[in-house]
Amino acid sequence: MDSHINELARELVAFMCDRGLTLATAESCTGGKLAAAITSVPGCSKVYVGGVVSYSNDVKSKVLGIDSEVLEKYGAVSCETVEAMALRVCHLMDCDCAMATSGIAGPDGGTVEKPVGTVWIAVNIKGDVVSTLLQLEDKGRDANICSSVENVLSLLRKKIRDISPIAR
- In this structure, the number of other CB atoms found within 10 A of the CB of residue 31 comes to 15
Which residue in 66, 111, 120 sits closest to 92, CA to CA? 66
Q: What is the pLDDT along the chain (168 residues), one digit of tens a residue?
A: 689 999 999 999 999 999 999 999 999 999 999 999 999 999 999 999 999 999 999 999 999 999 999 999 999 999 999 999 999 999 999 999 999 999 999 999 999 999 999 999 999 999 999 999 999 998 999 999 999 999 999 999 999 998 898 866
Rounded CA-CA distance 40/11 in Å is: 12
Rounded CA-CA distance 43/46 in Å is: 6
Ordered by start, the domain boundaries in the chain are 3-161
- In this structure, the number of other CB atoms found within 10 A of the CB of residue 18 comes to 15
CATH number corresponding to 3-161:
3.90.950.20
pTM for the model: 0.96
